């Protein structure tokens, strides 16, 4: 029996996306409760892409530019794989646990393959492993996959491995052993009230700095909810709801007092300046819970950011958010075509209700942005312009537009595969960086052009649309024209 048990966690992250992930911190805390020694290898600060997501959004006029260089933070020039191999050699873990999303899976796989010769058991978790366990398990460098949540499964695995006991029957895990593949059943989702406070000691301190609203602050991430009660077809929560349908459902809410207690603890310990609340729809809950949050948040007393659905917004809730220091709110528009939104996206809300929600927010001091998505399967240029027209009507301060990325787990992925827009093992792109699919009605090139011109169409007069249309093209003259408009846009709308 091995008393000293070491786990090397890998946070395979997109470059310079510094927002702390609550999941890694909770996993580390759960392992430490089990008496396991934990170390984190984090890819965040390695040069793994040509540009960051924040840089892409700033160049597309969606956020104010920020400079990590002013804090002495720049991508490291060391080779990420070589540094990982050295970390494994120095630390000598008994288990390597990779957490990745779809866009970071290829990099994560490279890391595991680089140390396969060591014979150290490996386990992969996260969204991609959950929804593509068969694809992940085909790789010789992968010994186990965690499907769904790992806060209970991973400590149980370590406990059994440390004791030299059989671990082929642990719920939520797929395990290769002696030439067999054990696909174990799911367990119910963990009670969020029983989760330990996040372990932030596992992180590099540079991870605490996060750009929000044009400023870089020490930011904490806290789970207010897990999952979403809605089933939008473009979101992986639709897949999680299906995965946990026979196990009590996936959507859960954290106890407000437990939530605030952790925020206060982290504020005092890490000198927080900003709070990022993880809640797919912050205001979609019962009135008593919202009121309790409003009563207790004064103890935290920090600016915070939330997401909300338009149908959850009321005058009283907006006033409460303003009173307790809500700095920013993002509201989902997604598409401006009511029929398309209901029939394809699974969002049964009218344009009038969306407009009303933004009217309520317009009277507040809260920084408001509208989340839009383009590039859905079957979506036409005309329908994208319906979204632009809706954004013009709501006249919102921040215009956010993402590319639809058919990640494994969202129910629209199946449609995209059936139509041949994307292959079964193709990796969908980062939704901030580019489109993932060519479609008969809209190519990737056309979508990229629409994406960068989108805020220009929203904010500038229609009398200029013919000129703005030229900005969609991909040539030096179009780029020069776009930069002229971008400078004017920042001056007029982003001060």
Same domain, 136 and 58: yes
**Domain, as residue range, for 96:** 6-183
Q: What is the pLDDT of residue 148?
A: 97
Whether 125 maps to a domain, the answer reads yes
Decide if 203 is inside a domain.
Answer: no
Judge whether residue 117 has pLDDT over 90.
yes
Residue with tokens 């370590």: 158
Residue 280 has pLDDT above 80, yes or no: no
Confidence of residue 96 (pLDDT cuts 50, 70, 90): very high
CATH number where 330 lies? 3.80.30.20
What are the backbone angles phi and psi of residue 265, rounded to the nearest 5°?
-60, -45
The reply to whether 137 falls in a domain is yes
Same domain, yes or no: 298 and 441: yes
What is the chain's mean pLDDT, rounded? 94
pLDDT (tens digit per residue) in 203-237: 999 999 888 777 888 999 999 999 988 889 999 99
Same domain for 366 and 240? yes
Instruction: Confirm whether 192 is domain-assigned.
Output: no
Average pLDDT over residues 288-312: 91
Q: Are residues 285 and 404 in the same domain?
A: yes
pLDDT one-digit tens code per residue, 362-403: 989 999 999 999 999 999 999 999 999 999 999 988 899 999
Distances (CA, A) of 150 to 29, 286, 417: 12, 28, 28
pLDDT value at residue 285? 80
User: Is residue 195 assigned to a domain?
Assistant: no
Number of domains in the chain: 3
Confidence grade of residue 1 (pLDDT, cut at 50, 70, 90): very low
Cα(11)–Cα(93) distance, integer angstroms: 15
68 and 49 co-located in one domain: yes
Q: Which residues contact 448 (CB under 8 A, 6 or more apart)?
A: 434, 435, 474
On the question of pLDDT at 124 being above 70, the answer is: yes
What pLDDT shows up at residue 291? 87
Would residue 339 be called left, alpha or beta, if left means φ above 0 and alpha means ψ between -120 and 50 degrees? alpha
CA 187 distance to own-chain centroid: 24
Please write the tens of the pLDDT for every residue from 17-39: 998 999 999 999 999 999 999 99
Q: Quote the percentage of the chain above a pLDDT of 70.
A: 99
User: pLDDT by residue (tens digit) across 396-430?
Assistant: 888 999 999 999 999 999 999 999 999 999 999 99
H-only helix segments in 347-431: 351-362, 381-394, 411-418
Mean pLDDT within 80-107: 98
The verdict on 436 and 477 lying in the same domain is no
| DSSP string across 180-194 | EEEEPPP-PPP-GGG
Characterize the bridge pairing of strands 252-253 and 274-278.
unpaired
CA angle 404, 99, 34 (to 5 degrees): 145
Could you tell me if residue 158 is inside a domain?
yes
pLDDT of residue 363: 87
Do 173 and 306 fall into the same domain?
Answer: no
Strand segments (E) across 233-366: 252-253, 274-278, 304-308, 326-334
Q: Are 304 and 274 in contact (CB under 8 A)?
A: yes
Tokens of 321: 């958010």
Angle at 428 between CA 183 and CA 51, to 5 degrees: 125
Residue 290 and residue 146 share a domain: no
**Residue at 188 is within a domain:** no
Write out the two tokens for 40.
Answer: 């984190």
Instruction: Kindly state whether residues 451 and 366 are assigned to the same domain.
Output: yes
- The secondary structure of 193-243 as a DSSP string is GGSPPP--TTS-GGGGEEEETTEEEEEEEEESEES-SS--TTSTHHHHHHH
**Within a domain: 266:** yes
Stated as kind and residue range, the H or E segment containing 289 is helix 287-296
Same-domain check for residues 72 and 166: yes
Q: What is the DSSP letter of 462?
A: G
- Whether residue 241 sits in one domain with residue 133: no
Judge if 155 and 106 occupy the same domain. Answer: yes
Instruction: Report the pLDDT value the prediction gives residue 215, as an integer from 0 to 100.
Output: 82
Contact 167, 160 (CB under 8 A): yes
Confidence of residue 153 (pLDDT cuts 50, 70, 90): very high
Cα separation, 480 vs 464, whole angstroms: 16
Mean pLDDT of 465-475: 97
């Amino acid at each position: 029996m091995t008393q000293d048990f070491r786990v090397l966690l890998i946070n395979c992250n997109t470059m310079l996306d510094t927002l702390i992930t609550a999941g890694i911190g909770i996993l580390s805390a759960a392992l430490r409760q089990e008496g396991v020694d934990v170390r984190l290898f984090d890819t965040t600060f390695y040069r793994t892409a040509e540009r960051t997501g924040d840089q892409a959004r700033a160049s597309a006029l969606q956020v104010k530019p920020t400079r990590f260089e002013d804090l002495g933070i720049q991508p490291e020039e060391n080779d990420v794989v070589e540094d990982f191999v050295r970390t494994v050699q120095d630390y000598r873990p008994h288990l390597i646990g990779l957490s990745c999303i779809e866009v970071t899976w290829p990099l994560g796989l490279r890391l595991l393959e680089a140390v396969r010769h060591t014979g150290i058991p490996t386990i992969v978790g996260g969204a991609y492993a959950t929804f593509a366990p068969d694809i992940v398990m085909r790789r010789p460098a992968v010994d186990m996959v965690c499907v769904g949540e790992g806060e209970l499964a991973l400590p149980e695995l370590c406990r059994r491995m440390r004791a030299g006991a059989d671990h082929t029957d642990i719920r939520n895990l797929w395990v290769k052993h002696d030439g067999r593949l054990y696909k174990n059943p799911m367990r119910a989702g963990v009670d969020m009230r029983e989760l330990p406070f996040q372990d932030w000691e596992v992180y590099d301190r540079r991870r605490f700095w996060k750009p929000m609203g044009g400023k870089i602050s020490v930011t904490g991430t806290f789970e207010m909810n897990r999952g979403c009660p809605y089933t939008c077809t473009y979101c992986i929560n639709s897949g999680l709801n299906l995965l946990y349908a026979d196990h009590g459902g996936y959507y859960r809410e954290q106890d407000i007092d437990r939530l605030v207690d952790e925020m206060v603890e982290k504020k005092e310990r890490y000198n927080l300046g900003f709070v990022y609340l993880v809640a797919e729809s912050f205001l979609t809950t019962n009135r008593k819970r919202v009121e309790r949050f409003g009563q207790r948040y004064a103890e935290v007393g920090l600016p915070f950011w939330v997401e909300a659905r338009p149908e959850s917004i009321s005058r009283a809730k907006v006033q409460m958010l303003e009173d307790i220091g809500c700095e920013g709110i993002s509201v989902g528009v997604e598409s401006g075509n009511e029929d398309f939104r209901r029939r394809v996206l699974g969002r049964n809300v009218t344009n009038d209700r969306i407009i009303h929600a933004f009217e309520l927010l317009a009277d507040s001091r809260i920084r408001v942005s509208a989340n839009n998505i383009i590039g859905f399967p079957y979506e036409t240029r005309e329908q994208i312009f319906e979204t632009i027209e809706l954004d013009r009507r709501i006249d919102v301060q921040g215009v956010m537009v993402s590319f639809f990325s058919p990640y494994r787990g969202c129910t629209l992925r199946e449609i995209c595969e059936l139509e041949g827009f994307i292959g079964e093992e193709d990796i969908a792109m980062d939704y901030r960086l580019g489109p993932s699919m060519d479609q008969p009605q809209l190519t990737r090139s056309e979508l990229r052009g629409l994406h960068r011109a989108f805020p220009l169409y929203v904010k500038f007069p229609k009398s200029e649309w013919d000129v703005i249309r030229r900005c969609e093209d991909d040539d030096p003259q179009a780029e020069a024209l776009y930069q002229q408009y971008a400078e004017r846009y920042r001056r007029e709308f982003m001060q």
